[in-house]
Amino acid sequence: MKKRLLAAAVSAVVSLSSMTAALPAVTNAAAADSKYNYGEALQKSMFFYQVQQAGELPDWNEVSWRADSMENDEVPGGWFDAGDHIKFALTNAYTATVLAWGIYQYKDAVKKAGLYDKYMKNLQWGLDYVAGCDRGDKVVGTIADDAFDHVWWGSAEVYMRKYVLKGGTDPRPYDEITCTSTVAQMASAMASGYLVFKDEDKSLAESYLKHAKSLFELADTTRDNTDQATQGGGNYYKCSDYFDDLFYAANWMYMATGDDSYLDKCEKEYIPNLAKEQQSTERKFTWGFCWDDALQAASLLYAINTDKQEWKDQIYKHLEYWTTGYGGKKVNYTPDGLAWLFQWGSLRHATTTAFLASVACDTIFKGDAAKEEKYNTWAKSQMDYAFGDNDLGMSYVLGMGDKNPRSCHHRTTSGVWDDKWTKLGTDPAEEGGLLSTDGSLVEYAHTLYGALEGGPNMDGTFKDEVNSYQNTEVAIDYNAGYTAELCALLDDYGGTPLADFPPKETPKWDEFFMKASINQAAGSYTEIKAFAMNHTAWPARTIKDLSYNYYFDISELEKAGYSINDVSVRVGYDQHSGDEGKISISDPIQYDGSVYYVKLKFNDGRVVMPTGQSEHRSECQFRISIPDNIQGVWDTSNDYSFAGLTQGGEDAMVVTDKITMYDGDTLIWGTEPDGTKPTPTDPSEKPDDPVVPSVKGDANINGSFEVADVVLMGQFLTNQKTMTEKGMINSDMNEDSKLNVFDWGIMKKRIAATANKQ
């Protein structure tokens, strides 16, 4: 079972009774008024966000091929940014805010579709990470070593093993920054989170609001984007102006608190400093809402909050620019109808603007039939373009429609084991094959359901290549406005999630297996070269207690009057002889009758890992021999594991199921001489945690109540540490299904009473 990482790490009070909820019954029926099922699309977008989860995965994570990763990050959890494994407070905050806005505006529609609980869980995952990045006078901006992250291609689950192997540290490096744009976006996330959760979990919402106030104050006081990052964040998300972000945050703060001072700041301090059109005194209405330009989104909120015509006009200009043009300015269009702003994430911009259009139609333009018809029709057309209404017939939402891009710039989805990724999505060497002529993987291990790819070029063409970042990249911010707009489309057209989603994936290739060849075979010995292989991706993983058996038959020796005592074994070469993975070879062990085997066992099998060309397989050369003076009685033709092997260099290596592989005592590869084969298992299922007795106050679930539990409870309540579900239950001292300072007080009194007795 995947372990739950309780998002309550940022909450002073958490309702224990609301940790799980049953999903409503759903069908596969598409919305009657649209040829696309927006319920299915929203369901799959939630799947994408679960793929992006970092840290210890919650038990509601539905992705069978994902497992825990980067558990020791300075701030646990959160979403990986894109196809890489960096975590940015900026994009986590931007994304969480837009998702919150979607559910805030269209809550009833999402509930009707049966996706409310799923949506809220995913949203809280992002919000809790943002809250965890709040350090008072600074925030954690970036977690990762970007110099490593963007030169290595592999799965999240084995990232840290490769990183440490290359000289990195565990936990990963991080920075603490004061960048106003980042902090203001975080304040927006926390304020919008408060609005969404205030009627669901009051204590959680109040915690978000507390963070929102302190973050807004820090952003407003700092007013400087110089301190953007020391870990690479500024290289990828370089923030420009910050007054738009303060304007955006102030509107969310007003909505959360009702405090007019936030609108006063907008009027007196932020609006005079907002961007203007080039060589004009007119306020900027071009470009689009994204992580680095919140002006139009803030303007829409301000128009809603103040009902001022000036700001309704601002949104009118912006939407005209995106549709038919305003003041001689109009966004570019592809020949087949996509409003195309920019080469990076063209669909991201179109679908995010579609969301602003829908919200505007449902708020400031409500009742204006002409505007509602124009902008709603346009918004739907942009979304439907992403689903396949284009000249290529291409659905740029993966796992939706009949035709998807073949390539996707996303490491974990690929399942690559040897850091060779440039051939992904290309034609295999043979029909139905997995590999190109150079041995590179071409078929992705997984389907990244629900991910919105970057999109087409301005001429409507699409470069379907894994390294065409502008076309095939995916990202949490790409999916944000798209997801929020799905909420709006559900409100207008309905839609239902699929009853049989997600499908359970089964491995497309052998995950652990053996390859071998003959080094030499002479009259008195056999020398074998063997590769222990790890190509795991369901999920990517390693095995500590890893070993393999080589079987041979000595019946010819016995007939000549010799015995197993005349057989010796030794390792001639071990790839890991100088490290913790060093392999050992056993003396011959009788399997059955004249059939014996030697077990080659790694001291630590985790050195065989799907992280690179020299790690996904471990080479060992070993010899089984008899004394040189015994000639003519050593015969390999009856040796079980020798069958099918050929002599030569690495090109002679063949996959063999006659060298069997083990995880501890469990057979995981090959067929033993008596025909025994591995029992099918589900690698995504984790063993249950050891049973620890429930002890009142035992927050760290070590079986006793002590000072350490009181300390952990205090850290939990002050957002410094998380706690397991069992630890939370144990810490509910007054058994009111909440965790708060009252429980902490009881714990402190009881520990003090215990100390006094001693």
Residue 549, beta-bridge partner list: 599, 660
* Neighbour count for residue 60 (Cβ, 10 Å): 17
Three-state DSSP state, 532: strand
CA distances from 292 to 150, 183, 191, 304, 535 (A): 22, 13, 19, 22, 39
Judged against a pLDDT cut of 80, whether residue 694 lies above it is answered with no
The rounded distance, in Å, linking the Cα atoms of 376 and 363 is 12
Q: What percentage of the chain has pLDDT greater than the value 90?
A: 81
Task: With cut-offs at 50, 70 and 90, classify the pLDDT of residue 230.
Answer: confident
Contact in structure between 531 and 508 (CB atoms under 8 Å): no
The whole model's pTM is what? 0.87
Catalytic residue among 473, 492, 709, 732: 473
In this structure, which amino acid lies at residue 293?
D
The rounded distance, in Å, linking the Cα atoms of 295 and 250 is 12
Contact in structure between 4 and 458 (CB atoms under 8 Å): no
Higher pLDDT, 240 or 277: 277
Q: Looking at residues 41-56, what average pLDDT do you find?
A: 98
Q: Where are the alpha helices (DSSP H) in 510-662?
A: 555-559
Give the tens place of pLDDT for each residue, 151-184. 999 999 999 999 999 999 999 999 999 999 999 9
The rounded distance, in Å, linking the Cα atoms of 194 and 205 is 4
Structure confidence at residue 86 (pLDDT)? 97
Structure confidence at residue 30 (pLDDT)? 41
Task: With cut-offs at 50, 70 and 90, classify the pLDDT of residue 684.
Answer: low
Judged against a pLDDT cut of 60, whether residue 690 lies above it is answered with no
Residue 333, beta-bridge partner list: 339
Catalytic residue among 409, 410, 446, 576: 409
Give the tens place of pLDDT for each residue, 522-547. 989 999 999 999 999 999 999 999 99
Give the tens place of pLDDT for each residue, 601-618. 999 999 999 999 999 999
The residues of the chain that CATH labels 2.60.40.710 are 512-669
Structure confidence at residue 758 (pLDDT)? 53
The angle, 0 to 180 degrees and rounded to 10, between the axes of the packed helices 346-362 and 309-322 is 140
Q: Looking at residues 53-62, what average pLDDT do you find?
A: 98
Q: Which 3-state string (H, E, C) describes 706-724? A: CHHHHHHHHHHHCCCCCCC
Give the tens place of pLDDT for each residue, 426-452. 999 988 899 999 999 999 999 999 999
| Cα dihedral 721, 727, 728, 730 sign | negative
Exposure b/e, 401-430, CB count within 10 A at least 16 = b: eeebbbbbbbbbbbbbbbbbbebbbbebee
* CATH assignment, 512-669: 2.60.40.710
Contact in structure between 624 and 524 (CB atoms under 8 Å): no
Give me Rg for the CA atoms of the chain: 30
In this structure, which amino acid lies at residue 609?
M
The rounded distance, in Å, linking the Cα atoms of 63 and 448 is 10
Closest among 253, 243, 262 to 210, alpha carbons compared: 253
Structure confidence at residue 740 (pLDDT)? 87
200 Cα distance to chain centroid: 26
Structure confidence at residue 704 (pLDDT)? 81
In this structure, which amino acid lies at residue 318?
H
In this structure, which amino acid lies at residue 716?
F
Task: With cut-offs at 50, 70 and 90, classify the pLDDT of residue 14.
Answer: very low
CA distances from 500 to 15, 26, 504, 635, 682 (A): 30, 9, 10, 55, 19
Task: With cut-offs at 50, 70 and 90, classify the pLDDT of residue 10.
Answer: very low
Judged against a pLDDT cut of 50, whether residue 28 lies above it is answered with no
Task: With cut-offs at 50, 70 and 90, classify the pLDDT of residue 8.
Answer: very low
The angle, 0 to 180 degrees and rounded to 10, between the axes of the packed helices 346-362 and 89-105 is 40
Higher pLDDT, 239 or 549: 549
Judged against a pLDDT cut of 50, whether residue 17 lies above it is answered with no
CA distances from 403 to 45, 271, 399 (A): 18, 45, 9
6 Cα distance to chain centroid: 17
Closest among 258, 342, 356, 343 to 311, alpha carbons compared: 356
Structure confidence at residue 210 (pLDDT)? 98
Give the tens place of pLDDT for each residue, 710-754. 888 888 887 666 677 678 888 988 887 778 888 888 888 888 776
* Neighbour count for residue 657 (Cβ, 10 Å): 17
Give the tens place of pLDDT for each residue, 73-88. 999 999 999 999 999 9
Structure confidence at residue 232 (pLDDT)? 65
Catalytic residue among 73, 84, 175, 511: 84
The angle, 0 to 180 degrees and rounded to 10, between the axes of the packed helices 116-132 and 180-197 is 140
Which secondary-structure segment (H or E) carries 388? none
Q: What token pair was written down for 416?
A: 């690559």
Judged against a pLDDT cut of 70, whether residue 9 lies above it is answered with no
464 is catalytic: yes
Judged against a pLDDT cut of 70, whether residue 122 lies above it is answered with yes
Structure confidence at residue 650 (pLDDT)? 84
- Label the pairing between strands 617-625 and 568-574: antiparallel
Catalytic residue among 81, 175, 453, 464: 464
CA distances from 62 to 17, 18, 59, 165, 221 (A): 21, 19, 8, 30, 42
* Neighbour count for residue 212 (Cβ, 10 Å): 28
The residues of the chain that CATH labels 1.50.10.10 are 7-410+448-493
Judged against a pLDDT cut of 80, whether residue 279 lies above it is answered with yes
Give the tens place of pLDDT for each residue, 286-306. 999 999 999 999 999 999 999
Sequence-separated (6 or more) residues with CB below 8 Å from residue 267: none
Residue 585, beta-bridge partner list: 600
84 is catalytic: yes
Judged against a pLDDT cut of 90, whether residue 405 lies above it is answered with yes
Structure confidence at residue 699 (pLDDT)? 87
Judged against a pLDDT cut of 80, whether residue 329 lies above it is answered with yes
| Cα dihedral 574, 576, 577, 582 sign | negative
Task: With cut-offs at 50, 70 and 90, classify the pLDDT of residue 67.
Answer: very high
Residue 534's φ and ψ, nearest 5 degrees, are -130, 105
Q: What token pair was written down for 640?
A: 């079980």
Contact in structure between 326 and 320 (CB atoms under 8 Å): yes
* CATH assignment, 7-410+448-493: 1.50.10.10
241 is catalytic: no
Q: Which 3-state string (H, E, C) describes 128-190? A: HHHHHCECCCCEEEEECCHHHHCCCCCCHHHHHHHHHHCCCCCCCCEEEECCHHHHHHHHHHH
Give the tens place of pLDDT for each residue, 129-147. 999 999 999 999 999 998 8
409 is catalytic: yes
Three-state DSSP state, 467: coil
Structure confidence at residue 343 (pLDDT)? 94
The rounded mean pLDDT for the chain is: 92
- DSSP of 627-684: -TT--S----TT-GGGTT--BSSGGG-EE-TTSEEEETTEEEES--TT---PPP--TT
